Structure 1
Amino acid sequence: MTWYGNTPIMFETYDKNTGMYKRMDEEIVMAVIMVSGILCDENLRNAWDDLYSVTSTYFGKKGDIVLFDICDIIKVIYGEKINLNRIWDEEKIQKVYELSKQRYNLHIGETIGGKLSLPDADKKSEAQFRLMSQMDNIDSDIYVKLTDAKSGRTIPKGLDIPAAFGSDDAYTILKEQMNEDYTGYNKKMQALRSTLSSASNDDPLDYSLNNMIMWILKPYIKRNTEGYPSFMNSEYWNNKSLITYLGGITDMRHLSYMLSKQAEGKPSETHEAPDPPMPGYVEPVPDIYSRLEYGAYAMKSFLQENDFKNTGIYDMLGSFADMASFLKSISIKELGNVPFTDEEGKRLKEYGRELEMLML
């Protein structure tokens, strides 16, 4: 599916010398032929609809013209039944081209990833068709905005992401590490911050499931330190929080995990050990645990709506949500200086066993 999203069929190209767009007739006809086979087969179209609804919900949408856009256009211009011998018609090709240009990037600014994908003012947008929409990776969009060969900054840094989302600590570290001010970097960063701050980026529904980790980790950027112990209000702890943030982003990027067999966790043998002097301690970030709980239920709902057959994962997600809820309640108690109950202390001591049971 990645190939279908990465491979465009160009409907036009922009000629810098003439300052004009050139219509790509062969590519337009190719798209019409490809889509007509699905359009004329109801079962095939329904199957593709099922596939697209799942992938677009999980990976998000860009502003591309996709199969269903072309289907509607073909119906208007060629009708329900298409004669492949009469597809090459200059007038009809022009109509397909015009209607496609109207739909291209029509809804791109409706999501956070879409806002980041809007072309710069000095770049020309070229209408293109893809069988599947491109994967919406917010982090990749940020990296692209902050790197280019002309500026001399060709390799991005992980801290670009929290800095773009508003972390002053990350931005300060980035500026300290720069031997020189790369051409336009600070200007681009300020533009990104403005875009992300103006978007309603604290609504989880604005993120695809693939990008939800960005929303979950936001409390690490804008931290509410009320009730925190003094050591958690230090520069060192702020840096530790950035490391945690980057760890979450890095894990999200390892899509190869989806394609490989995962290690199977097994409960370790039980050995009696002396009770620790303290019942345990949880990093008190209740907002993070609350968002993890929401994310687990959102994933469970997504799988149920799409009739995912492996019911075991529902139990795993339910257990994960329950653990996140438990850690949230412990965090709130710690911030309020409220002692744990014996049952809570016991669960904290056996926390590792619960993690072992959460392997997919």
Structure 2
Amino acid sequence: MKISRIAAACLFAALVIALPAALTGCQPAKNSPRQQADTPQVSSSAADTVFAPYSEIPVNVKPSVKPYLVEPNLSNVTNKDLFSFSPAAGKLLAQNGFVVVASKDHREFFPLYEVNRYAAVPVPNFVTTDAMLHNYHLYFSHLLRTLEKDRLCSELQTLTVSMLAGSEQQYGDLKGTAWENAAKRNVAFFAVATRMLDPTAGVPSYVQREVEQELQLIAEHRDTMRPSPVMNMGQPADDPLAVLNEDYTQYIPRGHYATSDDLRSYFKTMMWYGRMTFRANNNDETRSAALITLLLNRDKDFASWNRIYEPTNFFVGKSDDLGFLQYRELLGKIYGNTPTLNQLTGDNNKWTAFEAAVDKLQPPAINSIPVFDENIQPDREQAIKGFRLMGQRFTIDASIFQRLVYREVGENSAGERRMLPKGLDIPAAMGSEAAYAILDSAGQTGYARYPENMRKLQTYLASLDTATWTQNLYWSWLHTLAPLTEPKKQGYPSFMTNQAWTRKQLETYLGSWTELKHDTILYAKQVYAEMGGGDVNDDRGYVEPNPVVFARLASLTQMTADGLESRGLLNENDKESLERMEELALKLKVIAEKELVNQPLTDEEYDLIRGFGGDLEHFWLEALRDEGVDHRSAVAQNPASLIADVATNPAGEVLEEGTGYVSEIYAVVPVDGKLRIAKGGVYSYYEFPWPAQDRLTDQKWRSMLDEGQAPEQPAWVKSYAVPQ
């Protein structure tokens, strides 16, 4: 087969990115072909459509906890006899002041804390940042999932049916003209979407062959480099660079979209609308895009489109590709107003002016199209720029990835190309010296231009203001994680002031970031706690003193509730839960501030720590009630572990990011001037390459964990973690 010979002969180079995004685009500057290798150009202005503002909660505290040492045999720890540690765990606990112990016993966070509370001798709770970040993920996923099921699925059906009918009408009007093939392509384009939403729907006979071929490729979802039968309709197939190739492995429903037929159909259709590109350098495809723009300009169709785009914009961000809004604006400028079909197709001079104007528009910041090696296809920007109906969204982390893989970085000394990024690239770009050191020791910084690009990213990201970092929920989530990139200095509890804790914070960062990528996998673009009577029975616990993280989490929760409520997208039950979550985050912030300045906690605050597991269970149940979960016994079927592919090597490999069982953390903490061990739960983070044709679902990943087939965690966690 011809394409397979081409694929075998060519080296692929693209980072295929598919996860949520920012409300402002990330565009390279004009007349700068290497700008992609510099920094993302993110506007710091407010978004075009603002669902809700972000209200920063101030944290003003000077940490002043006196340093302390843990004796090697834990002799100065009051409740050490409650615990039995392996020699390796005991050594790390004494050395670092904390230790993480892997476990297969904890499928969710809340049971671990409830076990502490109801043990024969209660164990002090260690309320972790991880548990609260996971709490927010549960609700973010719930809100997005219910929005899709209750509103967006039906809206997508309405839009698709109308656009297919409109395309058929246009095709009938344009038969026999130079626009016939473009109109025919659109009929096929919307017929594919119609069939994915309704397998019983009819397909116009004149596009049935291409539609069936396309649907077969989507159903098989095994090819990463295959010409699209629909998008290449009526165009020469003898020039491989003129052929639009698609990565059909992206159509494997994953994340929460693998849980029902409706969500699977929604996922595949939105992936189709989000990835298929009417390329700007192709005259016939640009005609198709202009025809779609005319249809979408109809009030009812624009309303349907916007009712999908606007709320997903709030969750994830703006499209990174050209689309309806840009094309409609250009048509209005050139034709004097949005033209009629006859005006559009009947004035060649204005059409030529429109094509020239499209050519001057900025290309996407993130490439999500498989393209050929630089030596074969040097002008990547022209190859990837084009119109998408519901383009996948720009995200700042994907943009970071884009600048740290081939082509933006070159080969290393062994002649190898960096075709997949590393999760640690993200906190390193955010300023984490520890993350960069780990990357450096693993040889990841040895690619040409990697250090330079990383420095430019660090400088640029450090310059962004709060308004930019909080323009939507995706960016605000990353803003919440940012304090985890900073090492803790003197004045914090001693267990937090060492390299091991700095690395432990990276696992928290990457665990929560993995949940963010999982929740937004469809939209984001992919490149390719009562006081006792004695020391032993004293179960007063401790909150991990990260007040800035808790404050930002409260702000993020409030922004989530306000934004959805302002558009009538939040029911009373969810509003009440989000308000309760915000209140909990604020109370933990206050407790953390008190701990850092050695201020005694109240009985009520210790009770809050003691009952933390009950709060987590409440939020877990509320976040899963739309899935039919109404009792904690369902935790085995709804565990915390999840998986998300975040980048693609077009040669057939993806980068998987996962969280596993909840690990136990034991920290030696000061309470009333004495040291005690408190126990909590933290993420277990995984990262590994995997075949693209088998992009992992949560269900398969959980089976791998249960059957002992999961790969090992990254080596750098061994400085603070031990096996069960």
Structure with the higher fraction of residues in strand conformation: 2
| Aligned alpha-carbon RMSD (Å) | 2.9
The yes-or-no answer on 1:239 pairing with 2:503 is yes
Match of 1:139 in 2: 397
Cα deviation per residue 1:46-80 (whole Å; 9 max; x = unaligned)?
23223222222322125532212222333444545
SS at match of 1:318: helix
Moved more, 155-164 or 328-337: 155-164
Q: CA deviation at 1:286?
A: 0.3
1:215 to 473, 479, 490: 479
Residue 258 and residue 134 in structure 1: after superposition, are their counterparts in 2 closer, same or farther (change >3 A)?
Answer: closer
Distance of aligned partners of 1:124 and 1:195 in 2 relative to their CA distance in 1, 3 Å threshold: farther
Task: Kindly indicate whether the alpha-carbon contact (under 8 Å) linking 1:293 and 1:320 is maintained by their aligned counterparts in 2.
Answer: yes
Matched with 2:201 is none
Q: 1:28 aligns with which of 286, 294, 297?
A: 286
Tell me the residue number matched to 2:276: 7
Tell me the residue number matched to 1:248.
512
Look up the match of 1:44: 301
Native 8 Å contact 1:38 1:44 kept in 2: yes
Deviation at 1:257, TM superposition (A): 8.6
Is the contact between residue 56 and residue 133 of structure 1 (CA under 8 Å) also seen in structure 2? no
AA partner of residue 184 (structure 1) = R
Whole-Å Cα distance in 2 between the matches of residues 291 and 11 of structure 1? 41
4+ residue runs over 6 A deviation:
256-259
Letter of the 1:125 partner, please give it: E
CA contact (8 A) 1:284 1:335 kept: yes
**Aligned partner (choices 88, 99, 120) of residue 357 of structure 2:** 99
Quickly say closer, same or farther: Cα 1:208–1:227, change in 2 above 3 A.
same
Is residue 2:334 matched to residue 1:334?
A: no
Distance change (3 Å), C-alpha of 1:223 and 1:3 = farther
- Residues 1:178 and 2:437 are matched in the alignment: no
CA contact (8 A) 2:317 2:393 kept: yes
Report the structure, 1 or 2, having the larger helix content. Answer: 1
Q: Shift of residue 193 of structure 1?
A: 1.4
- Aligned partner of residue 544 in structure 2, secondary structure: coil
Match of 1:125 among 370, 381, 387: 381
Structure 1 counterpart SS, 2:381 = coil
| 1:72 alignment counterpart | 329
Q: Which amino acid aligns with 1:93?
A: W
Percent identical pairs in the alignment equals 29
Q: 2:460 aligns with which of 167, 180, 195?
A: 195
| Residues 85, 230 of structure 1: alpha-carbon distance in 2 compared, 3 angstrom cutoff | closer
In the TM superposition, what whole-angstrom CA distance separates every residue of 1:284-325 from its partner, at most 9, and x where no partner exists?
Answer: 010000000000011111111221153322112111111100
- Comparing both chains, which one has the higher relative contact order based on Cα–Cα distances under 8 Å and sequence gaps of 6 or more? 2
**Preserved contact between residue 487 and residue 502 of structure 2 (Cα < 8 Å):** no
Q: Return the alpha-carbon distance in structure 2 between the equivalents of residues 123 and 276 of structure 1.
A: 69
- 3-state SS of the aligned residue for 2:422? coil
Total equivalences in the alignment:
321
User: Is 1:53 aligned with 2:314?
Assistant: no
User: Are 2:539 and 1:278 aligned?
Assistant: yes
8 Å Cα contact 2:543-2:592 kept in structure 1: yes
> Could you tell me which residue of structure 1 aligns to residue 563 of structure 2?
302
2:420 is paired with a residue whose SS is: coil
Whole-angstrom CA distance in 1 between matches of 2:612 and 2:444: 45
Aligned 8 A contact 2:278 2:386 in 1: yes
Q: How far apart in 1 are the matches of 2:340 and 2:441?
A: 62
Larger Cα-atom Rg: 2
TM-score for the superposition, normalised by structure 1 = 0.80
- 1-side partners of 2:352 and 2:492: how far apart? 64
Partner of 2:550: 289
Where in structure 1 are there 5+ consecutive unaligned residues?
A: 13-23, 109-113, 260-273
- SS of 1:189's partner is helix
Instruction: Tell me how far apart the structure 1 counterparts of residues 460 and 300 of structure 2 sit (CA, whole Å).
Output: 42
Matched, 1:315 2:576: yes
